[in-house]
Structure 1
Amino acid sequence: MKTKVTTNDAAESSADKISRQSQLLSAQLQSIRERLYEPEAAKTLKTYTSRDVASLLGIAESTLRQMSLDGESAIPDRQDNGRRIYTLPQINQIREHLARRRPSEALDFLPRRREGDKLQVITVANFKGGSAKTTTTVHLAHYLAIQGLRVLAIDLDPQASLTAMFGYQPEFDVDENETVYAAIRYDEQRRPIQEVIRKTYFDGIDLIPANLELMEYEHETPQAIAAGHGRGDGIFFRRLSAVIGEVEEHYDVVLIDAPPQLGYLTLGALCAATSLLITIHPAMIDVASMNQFLAMMSDLMHVIEERGGVLSHDFIRYVLTRHNPNDSPQINVVTLLRSLFKDDVLAPAVVETTAIASAGLEKKSLYEMSRGSVGRDTLNRALESVDAVNGEILHHIKQVWGRQ
């Protein structure tokens, strides 16, 4: 005789069970965040030493010290040991001061776009999980801001990983109609994009956060097309570009973290972009997936062009991520990609490192990690790798602006 086993599953539907588990996890994540960022439950940025600042600005440490003694520009705080420490807002004040004081070197100190320079809208895309799309986006945003550029980061992924990296928990901190969906939706609840842009703790970076409501755009767009929203800036693939244009005077670079699928949001991001970064983990299964992504993207881009869309990008680059330079199969894949795509593959690659993994656990980029949080050599190697990739991307941006 068999004994009948009863469980609570019989009394709870699958939808209810998943909803309950989601709520439990959300509450726990909120609790963890509050413990990490006490007492205000908000992220803050690390400070910089005089040596860090001098290296970043390309000036002698003695020059920086003399500026402090003379009361010029920002006045740093002092640690207990007497060392001067600077915040990123103070570094940017010094940048502006030096740019005014040395006009012939102004673009070196403050490389923001000038009148006539085209706003750079860079979409980071791939639909293969694990390609480090969000990690690439957040590191590039932080790097550009540290270099003195004004950055708008747009999280277009309903999973909202980029939003979380900036210290917001989507289900708690992003309310209804507070994502970019609010600015591109088709009904009377549409809002100006300026109203959904948030200042972040990272000086120089503003954010448009994401949450699951972005999926509404995918559901509503077919109905909107059928209802006649298919002309001018109102057509779905121009809507994002049009609203970015409303705030372009405030930024040098817009970074879009695209969803991991080729839906209406991603197509809007491709059309809004002046440049594309396609992240790729150099493993054969990932390359095969990317091949499908490229084929589908090509087909859809041709359809958009037939509908009057203009797809002209200043540069398209493949970013090698999580690369192990000692792994023979990966080396073979990298060699294959470079032989096929030539200079469209960025020369440096982001190496696979525990430093990036450790930073991710804390929802930080490498630029936020303190020297004692991971091994010094490990952090330095990781930073060299990420700096090399981001530096080459900045080089391409400057080329577009006619500075190289």
Structure 2
Amino acid sequence: MTDPHSIVSQIGDLAQNGERMIERLRKRAFLPESRKGLNVRFGIAEAAQLLDCSTNRIRMAEEDGRLPPPPAGENGRRLGYTVEELLNMREVLGASPRRAENDVPAMIAVQNFKGGVGKSTVTTHLAHYFAVQGYRVLVVDCDSQATTTTLFGFNPHFNITREETLYPYLSIDPTQADLLYAVMRTPWPNVDLIPSNLELFDVEYELAAAGADGESVLAARFRKLKQGLNDLARNYDVVILDPPPALGTISLAVMQAANALLVPLAATTPDFCSTVQFLSMMDQVLQQLIEAGVQVDYSFVRLICSKFDPGDPSHDMVRAIMEQSFGPALLPVHILESAEISHAAMRMMTVYELEKPIGTARTHKRCKANLDEAMGQIEQLVRNGWGRVENVDEELVVNG
């Protein structure tokens, strides 16, 4: 008979070995400083496109001193603009997309109970897309697996303590009265992060052990998370929430705190079936929350197909099934399966952080164009919520 202690020890060894390897990969990815940086730059044509102005307008602002010109390399060529410089250009040229003071910040939960659908990948790419477009973004990692935290360059095991997660705010015996303590700067000047690690799962244990008083404690935690996030959201345009892929206390609190829901799903039959189950469970849970007096209100609920391979007939078949089932709730532009996304993830990055293509220039350009179009659908939904519909075509795309 196998000694159970030896099995536990073996699993512990595997976990430790894996954590050490993650740290080695992180250091290799972020050499020489072993800390993630943001070195991506934008040429003047791309900057003009992002600001929706002419290149001539940017050059004129540089010539009259309103904008500093970008530095030149050793060959004398302009190196391009950093994200920080783009943000300054938006302010100087009046091209900021920020919400008005009376606009409600978008609080988007990216959720599906099925693993492997690219939930954290969608979360991070969406955050970086909004950042490039000039919005102020807060990402809240509510998942104890902490994949999103890792993609932002932090090792949850070595770099993040329990006191830096949501735990001190949501625990049975809270030590924090608001969430300001948990907000971390990221390499992106307009993206902040509330990180996570495995110890956040202790909240689930504590609330499960609350006994007869559990329901009142649970309702209090729902209200508390929503209030804490609403207080923080005053300083942001978009808050993106990455909840655990399971129907637990934290997931329910996140779903109640959000004011929009984005459901990623892959183009496979198991993913479709799992997503239908997720929607059915969400329907039942939200009905119970409403009956219990817990307010739930979403400005939009949309599904987005991720990891879509247009060359795979089975993907086309499942996509057709999705379109018949979900109608206009399924966003028309899918996130295509791309080696560029996978290669960037190996470096703990998104495609928006790459200084140059990892694969071919054509593959990178196609991937980024697809991501821009897919994420742009969500941006337009957010702007619709603020009463800003740019043109008829975009409205038709969003509303099917």
Task: Report the CA distance between 1:391 and its aligned residue.
Answer: 0.5
**What is the CA deviation profile of residues 205-260 of structure 1, one whole-angstrom value per residue up to 9, with x for unaligned ones?**
000001011111111123447336727x9623222211112212111110001111
Q: Is the 8 A contact 1:138 1:162 kept in 2?
A: yes
Match of 1:352 among 328, 337, 340: 337
| 2-structure distance, mates of 1:25, 1:147 | 36
Q: Kindly tell me: are residues 276 and 74 of structure 1, through their superposed partners in 2, closer, same or farther at Cα, counting changes over 3 Å?
A: farther
Q: What is the match of residue 71 of structure 1? A: 65
Match of 1:336 among 314, 318, 321: 321
| 2-structure distance, mates of 1:52, 1:273 | 33
Task: Report the CA distance between 1:21 and its aligned residue.
Answer: 2.1
Q: What is the match of residue 158 of structure 1? A: 144
- Unmatched segments (≥5 aa) in structure 1: 1-8, 100-108
Q: Is the 8 A contact 1:153 1:255 kept in 2?
A: yes
Q: What is the match of residue 57 of structure 1? A: 51
Q: Is the 8 A contact 2:152 2:186 kept in 1?
A: yes
| 2-structure distance, mates of 1:15, 1:191 | 37
1:364 correspondence with 2:357 = no
Q: Helix, strand or coil for the counterpart of 1:230? A: helix
TM-score by length of 2: 0.92
| 2-structure distance, mates of 1:183, 1:374 | 43
What is the alpha-carbon root mean square deviation over aligned residues? 1.9
Q: How does 1:184-223 map to 2 (within 5 A)?
A: 184-223=170-209
Match of 2:33 among 40, 44, 55: 40
Task: Report the CA distance between 1:354 and its aligned residue.
Answer: 0.9
Q: Which amino acid aligns with 2:119?
A: K
Q: What is the match of residue 124 of structure 2? A: 138
Q: How does 1:249-328 map to 2 (within 5 A)?
A: 249-328=234-313
Q: Helix, strand or coil for the counterpart of 1:86? A: coil
| 1-structure distance, mates of 2:174, 2:155 | 27
Task: Report the CA distance between 1:24 and its aligned residue.
Answer: 2.0
Task: Report the CA distance between 1:50 and its aligned residue.
Answer: 2.1
Task: Report the CA distance between 1:281 and its aligned residue.
Answer: 0.4
Q: Is the 8 A contact 2:26 2:348 kept in 1?
A: no
- Unmatched segments (≥5 aa) in structure 2: 390-400
| 1-structure distance, mates of 2:273, 2:100 | 41
Q: Is the 8 A contact 2:357 2:364 kept in 1?
A: no
Task: Report the CA distance between 1:92 and its aligned residue.
Answer: 0.2
Task: Report the CA distance between 1:171 and its aligned residue.
Answer: 0.5
**What is the CA deviation profile of residues 311-334 of structure 1, one whole-angstrom value per residue up to 9, with x for unaligned ones?**
121000000001112222221211
Q: Is the 8 A contact 1:182 1:196 kept in 2?
A: no
Question: Percent of aligned pairs with the same residue?
Answer: 32
Q: What is the match of residue 3 of structure 1? A: none
Q: Kindly tell me: are residues 307 and 207 of structure 1, through their superposed partners in 2, closer, same or farther at Cα, counting changes over 3 Å?
A: same
**What is the CA deviation profile of residues 242-292 of structure 1, one whole-angstrom value per residue up to 9, with x for unaligned ones?**
111221211111000111111111111110111000011011111111122
Task: Report the CA distance between 1:12 and its aligned residue.
Answer: 6.0
Q: Helix, strand or coil for the counterpart of 1:47? A: coil
| 1-structure distance, mates of 2:357, 2:255 | 40
**What is the CA deviation profile of residues 189-219 of structure 1, one whole-angstrom value per residue up to 9, with x for unaligned ones?**
2352000100100121000001011111111
Q: Which amino acid aligns with 2:84?
A: P
Match of 1:226 among 206, 212, 220: 212
Q: Give the structure with higher Rg (CA).
A: 1
Q: Is the 8 A contact 2:119 2:242 kept in 1?
A: yes
Q: Is the 8 A contact 1:184 1:243 kept in 2?
A: no
Q: Which amino acid aligns with 1:381?
A: R
Q: What is the match of residue 85 of structure 2? A: 90
Report which stretch shifted further, 76-85 or 342-351.
76-85
Report how many aligned residue pairs link the two structures. Answer: 386
| 2-structure distance, mates of 1:210, 1:154 | 8
| 2-structure distance, mates of 1:229, 1:75 | 59
Report which stretch shifted further, 233-242 or 30-39.
233-242
Task: Report the CA distance between 1:59 and its aligned residue.
Answer: 2.2
